[in-house]
Structure 1
């Protein structure tokens, strides 16, 4: 499987070249074009492989060899629908789309809904990433994208009660609003980022909601209020523009979930 990002950094698209049985899991309604030998299937909630032997994408992305995919284990109706509800609470779609190649030399092109760049996260077995609300676009390889309960920590940091956690071996692709900035934090190194601009960060990075200034008056009157403090080690990806809010109702819903 090969992939490349085209038309960056504003009108980015993500193009995949697939061999037979290889597939891409993606956010619904993100397909721009596809060749005739691609089949589409829809699934409820997150779709990934719990066993590396079950996926045709087991090899690292870029390897030429492809292994026929084994049938997916059936998930209970309750389990799949509960997964869909958790995806919605994590700021993602209730459904997930799978684009699978029925023969060699097939292509799929995905287009994010926002004007911006595409972040490629390289997952290794010993590391993972947390994705912020609405940033997920697609994943390939033996990757596991789970919706995890974040509790009050996630709620108070304006990330919601549920967080998206990506682990495994392969690639996860994030859509951004504007250009993307990458900072690699050393141990105990800190960076303050407004949550509207955060895209993804390593699961080794800790975060906490803090005042933008020591003075509450300065924090509020500067328009910054409360921001998130990220402490390394690990990688932090943030975008140069914040998505416009949908009004007071949308803001309240986002704050709750």
Structure 2
């Protein structure tokens, strides 16, 4: 699978090139177009993703996020897992798995579903972003505080903790509202340049 992007960073579109039999998971509402012969399987439960599979001769799939912004192919090499914003995944190849439950997220969010999910494997995980993607590169032991509403992705080398900004105001671990995310390097924290929600 190869990913090419266009119309970035304001109105990104991702073209996913698939070899014969390759499959990718995406939400059907984000499919702009695809080559003839690409098949769809699985039923979308409400707003869930389905699987698109290329025919023997291969094919392509063009995906456009619902909101204006960038599309970003995050390359997973198999050595590190990544935490990504729950609503940011535009396309997931079969070689990238969603790790649930993930112990670090269980300690971060308790028994609830948080604003992050963990992925691992190899290949291009295509993310949709609100605004262009920016990055905060942290040296070992370097600390930064990030607004969770802007977090896009970070690798397992980055250690994080959540804290309340003001106990008198509403907080949500499902969205990150009212919380701060403290991150310690080494690693790169990718952020949206426009907040979620």
Q: TM-score, normalization: structure 2? A: 0.82
1:96 matches 2:80: no
1:33–1:109 Cα contact (<8 Å) kept: yes
Q: Report the aligned-residue RMSD.
A: 2.8
Are the aligned partners of 1:121 and 1:171 in contact in 2 as well (CA < 8 Å)?
Answer: yes
Partners of 2:129 and 2:156 in 1: CA distance:
19
Residue 179 of structure 2 is aligned to residue 231 of structure 1? no
2:139 to 167, 170, 186: 186
Is 2:87 the counterpart of 1:134?
Answer: yes
The structural deviation recorded for 1:139 is: 1.7
1:153 to 2:111 alignment = no
Corresponding residue for residue 20 of structure 1:
20
Contact 1:193/1:227 (<8 A) preserved: yes
Shift of 1:198: 0.6
Secondary structure at the counterpart of residue 86 of structure 2: coil
User: Which position in structure 2 is the counterpart of 1:53?
Assistant: none
Q: Distance in 2 between matches of 1:173 and 1:35?
A: 19
Contact between 1:40 and 1:98, CA under 8 Å: does it hold in 2?
yes
User: 1:151 deviation in Å?
Assistant: 3.2
Paired residue secondary structure (1:148) = coil
Deviation for aligned residue 1:196: 0.6
Deviations 1:82-101 (CA, angstroms, capped at 9, x unpaired): xx8xxxxxxxx763311111
Q: Does 1:199 align with 2:152?
A: yes
More helix by share: 1
Given that residues 85 and 115 in structure 2 are in contact (C-alpha distance below 8 angstroms), is that contact kept between their aligned partners in structure 1? no
Three-state SS of the structure 1 residue aligned to 2:29 is coil
8 Å CA contact 1:131, 1:166 repeated in 2: yes
CA contact (8 A) 1:198 1:239 kept: yes
Q: Summarize deviations over 1:82-132 as a string: whole Å, max 9, x none.
A: xx8xxxxxxxx7633111111325221011111111122111221010112
Match of 2:34 in 1: 34
Q: Deviations over 1:167-188 (max 9, x none)?
A: 0111111111111101222211
Q: 1:146 offset after TM fit, Å? A: 2.6
Query: How far did 1:210 drift?
Result: 3.5
Q: Unpaired segments of 5 or more residues in structure 2?
A: 170-176
- Aligned partners of 2:142, 2:72: CA distance in 1, in Å? 23
Structure 1, unaligned stretches of length 5 or more?
A: 45-83, 85-92, 245-257
**Superposed counterparts of 1:230-249, under 5 Å:** 230-244=183-197
- 8 Å CA contact retained: 1:148, 1:163: no
Q: Could you report, residue by residue, the CA deviation over 1:221-241 in whole angstroms, capped at 9, with x for unpaired residues? A: xxx964111111122110111
Question: What is the TM-score when the length of structure 1 is the normalising length?
Answer: 0.64
Equivalent pairs, count: 188
Rate the CA distance shift 1:226–1:34 in 2: closer, same or farther, 3 A.
Answer: closer
CA distance in 1, matches of 2:178, 2:65: 30
